[in-house]
Amino acid sequence: MAQHRFSSPLIGDRPAPVKFKPKLVCHSWAELETQTNNCRACGLHEDRIQVVAGRYSHKQAELLIIGEGPGQVEDKEGLAFVGDSGKLLDIMLDSVGLESWYITNVVRCRPPENRTLDSPFNAGSPRNGLSRNPTKTECQSCWGFLQSEIALVKPKAILCLGKVAARTILNTPTKFEKLLRIQHQYFEYPVWATYHPAYLLRQPQLSEHSPKWQVWQTLCQIKLYLEGCRL
Protein backbone atom coordinates (compact mmCIF):
# COMPACT_ATOMS: atom_id res chain seq x y z
CA MET A 1 0.00 0.00 0.00
CA ALA A 2 1.27 3.46 -0.83
CA GLN A 3 2.43 5.53 2.09
CA HIS A 4 0.55 8.73 2.82
CA ARG A 5 2.12 11.90 4.09
CA PHE A 6 0.66 12.86 7.43
CA SER A 7 -1.78 15.70 7.04
CA SER A 8 -1.19 18.88 8.91
CA PRO A 9 -3.65 19.36 11.74
CA LEU A 10 -4.22 22.46 13.79
CA ILE A 11 -3.21 22.24 17.40
CA GLY A 12 -4.15 24.31 20.42
CA ASP A 13 -5.81 27.50 19.16
CA ARG A 14 -8.67 26.82 16.86
CA PRO A 15 -8.85 28.68 13.57
CA ALA A 16 -11.62 27.65 11.18
CA PRO A 17 -11.16 23.94 10.51
CA VAL A 18 -10.08 22.75 7.09
CA LYS A 19 -12.31 20.06 5.59
CA PHE A 20 -10.97 16.53 5.85
CA LYS A 21 -10.10 15.38 2.32
CA PRO A 22 -8.14 12.16 2.62
CA LYS A 23 -6.67 10.28 -0.32
CA LEU A 24 -8.75 7.23 0.39
CA VAL A 25 -7.38 3.76 -0.15
CA CYS A 26 -10.73 2.19 0.75
CA HIS A 27 -14.08 3.68 -0.22
CA SER A 28 -16.33 1.21 1.60
CA TRP A 29 -16.36 -1.03 4.66
CA ALA A 30 -16.11 -4.06 2.38
CA GLU A 31 -13.02 -2.64 0.67
CA LEU A 32 -11.47 -1.84 4.03
CA GLU A 33 -12.00 -5.40 5.22
CA THR A 34 -10.63 -7.00 2.05
CA GLN A 35 -7.63 -4.73 1.70
CA THR A 36 -6.58 -4.91 5.34
CA ASN A 37 -6.97 -8.68 5.47
CA ASN A 38 -4.65 -9.00 2.47
CA CYS A 39 -2.21 -6.28 3.52
CA ARG A 40 1.51 -6.98 3.75
CA ALA A 41 2.64 -3.35 3.57
CA CYS A 42 4.75 -3.52 6.70
CA GLY A 43 6.67 -6.14 8.62
CA LEU A 44 3.87 -6.58 11.16
CA HIS A 45 2.08 -8.97 8.80
CA GLU A 46 4.79 -11.57 9.43
CA ASP A 47 3.86 -12.38 13.02
CA ARG A 48 0.15 -11.64 13.10
CA ILE A 49 -2.46 -14.32 13.61
CA GLN A 50 -4.92 -12.05 11.86
CA VAL A 51 -5.62 -8.43 11.02
CA VAL A 52 -7.54 -6.72 13.81
CA ALA A 53 -10.73 -4.88 12.86
CA GLY A 54 -12.36 -1.96 14.66
CA ARG A 55 -14.94 -2.74 17.35
CA TYR A 56 -18.00 -0.55 17.71
CA SER A 57 -21.35 0.18 19.29
CA HIS A 58 -22.28 2.03 16.11
CA LYS A 59 -20.41 1.77 12.81
CA GLN A 60 -20.93 5.47 12.16
CA ALA A 61 -20.23 6.49 15.71
CA GLU A 62 -20.13 9.92 17.33
CA LEU A 63 -16.78 9.15 18.96
CA LEU A 64 -13.86 7.52 17.17
CA ILE A 65 -11.33 6.12 19.66
CA ILE A 66 -7.82 5.34 18.41
CA GLY A 67 -5.30 3.22 20.26
CA GLU A 68 -1.81 2.29 19.10
CA GLY A 69 -1.89 -1.37 18.14
CA PRO A 70 -3.51 -4.70 18.94
CA GLY A 71 -2.31 -6.86 21.82
CA GLN A 72 -2.20 -10.62 22.20
CA VAL A 73 -5.94 -11.10 22.86
CA GLU A 74 -6.93 -8.84 19.98
CA ASP A 75 -4.57 -10.66 17.62
CA LYS A 76 -6.30 -13.91 18.57
CA GLU A 77 -9.87 -12.54 18.42
CA GLY A 78 -9.46 -10.25 15.40
CA LEU A 79 -11.22 -7.35 17.14
CA ALA A 80 -9.83 -4.18 18.69
CA PHE A 81 -9.80 -3.70 22.48
CA VAL A 82 -11.32 -7.00 23.57
CA GLY A 83 -8.70 -7.71 26.27
CA ASP A 84 -8.50 -6.27 29.77
CA SER A 85 -7.74 -2.77 28.44
CA GLY A 86 -10.86 -2.85 26.30
CA LYS A 87 -12.99 -4.04 29.20
CA LEU A 88 -11.79 -1.15 31.34
CA LEU A 89 -12.40 1.28 28.49
CA ASP A 90 -15.97 -0.06 28.03
CA ILE A 91 -16.68 0.47 31.73
CA MET A 92 -15.35 4.03 31.60
CA LEU A 93 -17.34 4.88 28.47
CA ASP A 94 -20.50 3.45 30.05
CA SER A 95 -19.90 5.36 33.25
CA VAL A 96 -20.08 8.73 31.48
CA GLY A 97 -22.87 7.70 29.12
CA LEU A 98 -20.81 7.66 25.91
CA GLU A 99 -22.89 5.17 23.94
CA SER A 100 -21.89 5.78 20.33
CA TRP A 101 -18.28 4.76 19.79
CA TYR A 102 -15.98 3.03 17.32
CA ILE A 103 -12.59 1.79 18.58
CA THR A 104 -9.64 1.10 16.32
CA ASN A 105 -5.84 1.28 16.31
CA VAL A 106 -3.14 3.15 14.41
CA VAL A 107 -1.85 -0.23 13.19
CA ARG A 108 -4.03 -3.27 12.58
CA CYS A 109 -1.50 -6.00 13.15
CA ARG A 110 0.07 -6.78 16.50
CA PRO A 111 3.60 -5.48 17.08
CA PRO A 112 4.93 -8.73 18.52
CA GLU A 113 7.81 -8.20 20.89
CA ASN A 114 7.81 -6.03 23.90
CA ARG A 115 10.40 -3.28 23.74
CA THR A 116 8.69 -0.40 25.51
CA LEU A 117 9.60 0.95 28.89
CA ASP A 118 7.06 1.28 31.63
CA SER A 119 5.90 4.79 31.01
CA PRO A 120 2.61 6.66 31.34
CA PHE A 121 2.86 7.47 27.68
CA ASN A 122 3.11 3.93 26.33
CA ALA A 123 0.68 1.07 26.68
CA GLY A 124 3.19 -1.77 26.62
CA SER A 125 5.63 -2.50 29.39
CA PRO A 126 8.04 -5.27 30.28
CA ARG A 127 5.54 -6.37 32.93
CA ASN A 128 2.34 -6.68 30.94
CA GLY A 129 3.82 -8.79 28.15
CA LEU A 130 1.38 -7.39 25.60
CA SER A 131 3.19 -5.78 22.70
CA ARG A 132 5.66 -3.06 21.85
CA ASN A 133 4.58 0.27 20.42
CA PRO A 134 4.37 0.40 16.64
CA THR A 135 7.21 2.25 14.92
CA LYS A 136 6.68 5.43 12.93
CA THR A 137 7.21 3.50 9.70
CA GLU A 138 4.57 0.94 10.69
CA CYS A 139 2.15 3.75 11.58
CA GLN A 140 2.78 5.40 8.22
CA SER A 141 2.21 2.12 6.39
CA CYS A 142 -1.22 1.77 8.00
CA TRP A 143 -2.10 5.48 7.74
CA GLY A 144 -4.21 5.10 4.58
CA PHE A 145 -6.42 2.56 6.34
CA LEU A 146 -6.86 4.80 9.36
CA GLN A 147 -7.75 7.74 7.13
CA SER A 148 -10.27 5.58 5.28
CA GLU A 149 -11.74 4.47 8.59
CA ILE A 150 -12.11 8.10 9.76
CA ALA A 151 -13.91 8.91 6.50
CA LEU A 152 -16.21 5.88 6.85
CA VAL A 153 -17.03 6.38 10.53
CA LYS A 154 -17.60 10.15 10.10
CA PRO A 155 -17.20 10.83 13.83
CA LYS A 156 -18.10 14.02 15.63
CA ALA A 157 -15.02 13.71 17.86
CA ILE A 158 -11.80 11.71 18.11
CA LEU A 159 -10.08 10.40 21.24
CA CYS A 160 -6.45 9.24 21.03
CA LEU A 161 -5.28 6.72 23.61
CA GLY A 162 -1.58 7.05 24.38
CA LYS A 163 1.38 8.82 22.84
CA VAL A 164 1.56 6.93 19.56
CA ALA A 165 -2.06 7.58 18.62
CA ALA A 166 -1.93 11.23 19.70
CA ARG A 167 1.28 11.96 17.82
CA THR A 168 0.07 10.15 14.71
CA ILE A 169 -3.21 12.03 14.47
CA LEU A 170 -1.90 15.41 15.59
CA ASN A 171 1.38 15.02 13.70
CA THR A 172 3.37 16.62 16.43
CA PRO A 173 6.50 15.85 18.43
CA THR A 174 4.99 17.74 21.41
CA LYS A 175 5.41 15.98 24.75
CA PHE A 176 2.42 13.77 25.46
CA GLU A 177 1.65 15.39 28.81
CA LYS A 178 1.26 18.74 27.05
CA LEU A 179 -1.38 17.24 24.76
CA LEU A 180 -3.57 16.07 27.64
CA ARG A 181 -6.77 17.75 28.86
CA ILE A 182 -7.06 20.23 25.98
CA GLN A 183 -9.08 20.11 22.79
CA HIS A 184 -7.10 19.89 19.56
CA GLN A 185 -8.29 19.94 15.98
CA TYR A 186 -7.68 17.49 13.16
CA PHE A 187 -9.36 19.05 10.16
CA GLU A 188 -13.03 19.40 11.17
CA TYR A 189 -12.69 16.87 13.99
CA PRO A 190 -12.13 17.95 17.59
CA VAL A 191 -9.47 15.70 19.12
CA TRP A 192 -8.57 14.80 22.68
CA ALA A 193 -5.63 12.74 23.92
CA THR A 194 -5.50 10.73 27.10
CA TYR A 195 -3.80 7.78 28.75
CA HIS A 196 -4.07 4.31 27.25
CA PRO A 197 -6.22 1.96 29.38
CA ALA A 198 -3.32 -0.54 29.49
CA TYR A 199 -1.48 2.05 31.56
CA LEU A 200 -4.53 2.64 33.74
CA LEU A 201 -4.63 -1.07 34.59
CA ARG A 202 -1.34 -0.55 36.42
CA GLN A 203 -2.52 2.64 38.14
CA PRO A 204 -5.30 1.64 40.55
CA GLN A 205 -5.52 4.96 42.40
CA LEU A 206 -8.65 7.04 41.89
CA SER A 207 -7.54 10.21 43.66
CA GLU A 208 -7.83 13.65 42.12
CA HIS A 209 -5.30 14.13 39.28
CA SER A 210 -4.50 10.40 39.13
CA PRO A 211 -4.34 9.00 35.57
CA LYS A 212 -7.80 7.39 35.91
CA TRP A 213 -9.24 10.66 37.20
CA GLN A 214 -7.70 12.48 34.22
CA VAL A 215 -9.16 10.02 31.71
CA TRP A 216 -12.53 10.40 33.40
CA GLN A 217 -12.27 14.20 33.07
CA THR A 218 -11.45 13.91 29.37
CA LEU A 219 -14.37 11.55 28.75
CA CYS A 220 -16.68 14.00 30.53
CA GLN A 221 -15.32 16.85 28.36
CA ILE A 222 -16.07 14.81 25.23
CA LYS A 223 -19.54 13.90 26.48
CA LEU A 224 -20.30 17.58 27.06
CA TYR A 225 -18.96 18.46 23.61
CA LEU A 226 -21.13 15.81 21.94
CA GLU A 227 -24.14 17.18 23.81
CA GLY A 228 -23.50 20.59 22.29
CA CYS A 229 -21.69 22.29 25.16
CA ARG A 230 -18.80 24.49 23.90
CA LEU A 231 -16.48 25.60 26.69
Assess 142 for contact with ligand SF4 (CB under 6 A). yes
Q: How far apart are CA 88 and CA 199, in angstroms?
A: 11
Q: Which stretch binds ligand SF4 (CB under 6 A): 21-29, 56-64, 105-113, 196-204?
A: 105-113
Q: How far apart are CA 108 and CA 119, in angstroms?
A: 22
Q: Give the SS3 label for residue 205.
A: coil
Q: How far apart are CA 47 and CA 40, in angstroms?
A: 11
Which of residues 21, 27, 40, 115 is near ligand SF4 by CB under 6 A?
40
Burial class (CB in 10 A: 0-12, 13-18, 19+), 186: buried
Q: How far apart are CA 58 and CA 8, in angstroms?
A: 28
String of contacts with ligand SF4 for each residue 41-70, x by CB under 6 A: xx-xx-----x-------------------
Q: Which stretch binds ligand SF4 (CB under 6 A): 58-66, 84-92, 136-144, 205-213?
A: 136-144
Nearer to ligand SF4, 131 or 214 (CB): 131
Which of residues 11, 25, 26, 36 is near ligand SF4 by CB under 6 A?
36
Assess 109 for contact with ligand SF4 (CB under 6 A). yes
Nearer to ligand SF4, 139 or 180 (CB): 139
Angstrom CA distances, 140 to 73, 85, 169, stand at 24, 24, 11
Q: Which stretch binds ligand SF4 (CB under 6 A): 22-30, 91-99, 141-149, 200-208?
A: 141-149
Q: Give the SS3 label for residue 64.
A: strand
Q: Which stretches of the chain bind ligand SF4, using CB under 6 A?
A: 36, 39-42, 44-45, 51, 107-109, 138, 141-142, 145
